[in-house]
Amino acid sequence: MSYFSGKTIWLTGASSGIGLAMAEQLAAAGAHLILTSRRSEALEQVRQSLANPDAHQILALDLSQPEQAVEQAHAQLGHQVIDILINNAGVSQRSWIVDTDLSVYRQLMEIDYFAVVALSKLVLPRMLERKSGHIVTVSSVAGKVGTKLRSGYCGAKFGVIGFMDSLRAETRAAGLQVTSILPGFINTQVAHNSLTGDGSALGHEDPDNAGGISAEECARQSLQAIANGKAEVVIGSGLSKLAPRLQRFFPGLVRKLVANRKTFDES
């Protein structure tokens, strides 16, 4: 993918899942990566495993505290040119609304929405000055279709798609690219790390995600969409890929489907 060769790309959520697969493919394509997740040790392991490791740097940030993360990022990156920002970090949810603490909703919004806004705003001024740059956010099919057990996750992902749509409209005249990636069911650890009603991790797989496409295939399709300058792309298979289109043309049908569909904790 020649589009990425020689470009400096800031990738969040880079230590596992889709982010790790993206990092491997971007490094192989000749990109210079700024790798972000919470733990510097994990990031350093990733950096050392990539093609041309000396071309990449790590930037450990806690994106549940976006303002602090922006301060740290600004201090480390300074005026470094960022060609592409890929907002990939995120956390999901598996809990019923009635059982979910308000603090869990806030944590989901901080990571899945406000961190995207904060990092995008950090790189945006320099991109506008250069009239060049690409901002990408990995949202979700859950940002188009609300489902059981994901009320806070869906809310954040709906919100971030709206933010990206507005960002695209505001920066089009300046020549910037803005891409929203909407994965469906992907076979990663996302369910294991999902927040339950009290904020603890679920700790086991969800059959929906376990049956999804691989992180590597999701990364490949995502990067192809970015290279092609797509505004929005849905990635997945089966119902999770079809759901946004069905929602658009047959919303009543989708409401019935999601209401009647059994979850992993319903008999």
Catalytic residue list: 153
In the beta sheet, which residues pair with residue 99?
Answer: none
Q: Which residues contact 204 (CB under 8 A, 6 or more apart)?
A: 191, 192
Phi, psi of 121 (to 5 degrees): -65, -30
CA distance 156 to 173: 27
CA distance 248 to 253: 10
Q: Which of 53, 247, 264, 230 is nearest to 134 (CA)?
A: 230
DSSP element (H, E) containing 178: strand 177-183
- CB atoms < 10 A from the CB of 182, how many? 25
Given a contact cutoff of 8 angstroms between Cβ atoms, the answer to whether 165 and 183 are in contact is no
